[in-house]
A and B are shown apart, each in its own frame.
Chain A
Amino acid sequence: MTNQEANDLILDIKNLKVRYETQDGIVRAVNGIDLTLRKKRTLGLVGETGAGKTTTALAIMRLVPDPPGIVECDKLEISGQDILSLPENKLEHVRGNDISMIFQDPMTALNPVFTVGDQIAESLEIHEHLSSKDAKERAGDMLELVGIPRERANEYPHQFSGGMKQRVVIAIALACNPQLLLADEPTTALDVTIQAQVLELMNELKEKYDTSMIMITHDLGCVAEVCDEVAVMYAGRIVEEGTLEDVFNRTLHPYTEGLFNSLPNIKDRKAKLKPIKGLMPDPTNLPVGCSFAPRCNYVSDACLKAQPQLRSISQTHRVACTAYDNPEFHIERRIL
């Protein structure tokens, strides 16, 4: 990494592990992941439900609920600032100011007893120490920015539709112009037409404010639209990562291939959907070897012996799959 690149580093995580100690056992949600993100870049964090995506984002915010969550990490830096060692009162300055998060479900993300204007203004009062009048004014600006008339600032969440609520949530997250935005499935709960609008809005705002973003999703279409880089997550580990072209056009991991195969084929509408067979392994009882092995078409004995480690295939492209020990190996899916 050059010096310039190091300076540009917004997010730097080394060996993040999160487990939830519940009555039914220890849920190993995140099992040692490294992530880096540079300025103005957008990383797509992709994976099925239960892969550990939300937990990863919460860990970055230092908001994993404890109990039952326990976080271990070798390094967690935002723009060079060590977040791991910050006491709670310092973390409050970071949250909403340097890093913001958009949560999965807009229907429940807003406090029902405060006006949307007040909820946007609150972060401005906390971080920019604005008077409540100025903060209200700015909250109105933020509403207009996300396409809601400012007069509606005095209305309550129940007076808004789902798509509008998500716009409000986005306005809250962007109010203090954070360096890093964690968007956790921001469109999953919305209608398809609204989804497109919200994605477009996020793209616009990201450009406008030079925000770096992690877009968490299980929707590859959404990844293609907004991301520069992609990390595919499976059972709490990153199994493939690279640039958008790397992962989409030079797919390496059998799981990633499975994700693409389970998408409806636009070119050949008659082609059958091929969802990945089987389920994710029980996170309280992960196998010793590759966690994808029970569902993998390329599985061999070597896969079951040890956890595959990420290896570099090119400068930007990495994969964690034992099959690549054999230089001849390739998956079925070839460059489109």
Chain B
Amino acid sequence: MYRYILKRLLMLIPVLLGVAFLIFAIMDVAAGDPVYSVAGADATPEQIEALREKMGLNGSLIERYIRYIGNLLKGDLGTSYISKLDVMKVYLQRLPNTLKLATLTMIVAVGMAIPLGITAAVHQNSIRDTTSMVLALIGLSMPNFWLGLLLILFFSLKLGWFPTGGSEGFRSIVLPAITVGTSLAALLTRTTRSSMLDVLRQDYLRTARAKGVSERNVIQKHALRNALIPIITIFGVQFSNVLGGSVLAETVFAWPGVGRLVVDAIDQRDIPTVTGALVMTTMLVTIVNLLVDLVYAFVDPRIKAQYTK
């Protein structure tokens, strides 16, 4: 198992280098030559060349990429064209906000999806099943910003329980987490339901019942554990997505996360910030993927056996 983890960690290096190169190349092509806009219209060619050197934009794409990776290894993502601040610093400032929101979002999503999905599967084709599935459908089709506004209207403006936005600690992330969590819960509920339906037909549950295991444990222990793999897969994808920042929720609730950092930076053609934030997000996502794979092994011994082979 440790050898597998080590192998996977080593495999991360070429993946990250490749993805970083892609981001780097795309930004280079899409953004054009930023030197002119920074230097201003009446700069002399000499001034422009000097500026290019200062901004680290001299040399071919490959040369600049290698330089960028070298700096990255030292933890340096360059400085923002706009604010002139250190990109790494700005990213790390935003990251905890995004992590907090992402974590609570996933807790909300899982907290709704697993019980709903299990209930739907166990009472297949009953009123409880239909209700859960209609709820999931509503969650899936309701636009994020709209749910967000509804929640603000009711819980912030009317009841005054939560702030309408900003970053006043835990109370500020409750509404955005519910907003994003609800929309994620929809797919997660359907995944839980269909995976549970598959497992509920299995013979080993009958063996468990014949042993005298209570119906509750048959479902929560014997069945759920076997149904987890597809659920974890969807969870991993969704968690990766919210780690990139939930742009809409961050906008509606004025939450200073990574998502808005990137979107604002794109607006302002702030290439170092965009590239830096994307590279860092990629890194996080690959680590999450690795963790998901490890959780698979933990949940299902047959997968673990494949890893150790």
**Interface positions of A (Cβ within 8 A of B):** 61, 63, 88-89, 92-97, 100-101, 103, 105, 108-115, 122-123, 126-127, 156, 158-159, 169, 172-173
Contacts and interface: CB of A to CB of B under 8 A. Distances in A.
Interface size class on chain B is 20 to 34
28 contacts: A61-B210, A63-B206, A63-B209, A89-B214, A92-B212, A95-B209, A95-B210, A95-B212, A96-B210, A96-B213, A97-B212, A100-B211, A103-B210, A108-B203, A111-B208, A112-B226, A112-B300, A112-B302, A113-B225, A113-B226, A113-B299, A115-B301, A122-B208, A122-B213, A126-B211, A158-B305, A172-B207, A173-B210
Contacts of A156: 301-302, 305
B300 A63 contact: no
Contacts of A101: 210
B125 to A, nearest CB: 9
Interface string B91-107: 00000000000000000
A103 B207 contact: yes
Given A111-B222, A112-B204, A113-B300, 9 more contacts: A61-B210, A95-B210, A96-B212, A100-B210, A100-B211, A103-B203, A113-B301, A126-B213, A156-B305
B207 A111 contact: yes
Interface string B6-30: 0000000000000000000000000
A115 to B, nearest CB: 8
B53 interface: no
Given A105-B203, A108-B203, A113-B301, A123 B226 contact: no
B202 interface: yes
Given A109-B203, A112-B302, A113-B301, A127 B212 contact: yes
**5 residue pairs, one from A and one from B, having the closest CB atoms:** A96-B212, A96-B211, A108-B203, A95-B212, A156-B301
Interface of B: 202-204, 206-215, 222, 225-226, 299-302, 305
Contacts, number: 76
A169 B207 contact: yes
Contacts of A115: 301
B212 A94 contact: yes
Nearest to B228: A113
Given A109-B203, A112-B302, A63 B212 contact: no
Nearest to B226: A113
Nearest to B222: A111
Contacts of A109: 203-204, 206-207
Contacts of A63: 206, 209-210
A41 to B, nearest CB: 21
A39 to B, nearest CB: 22
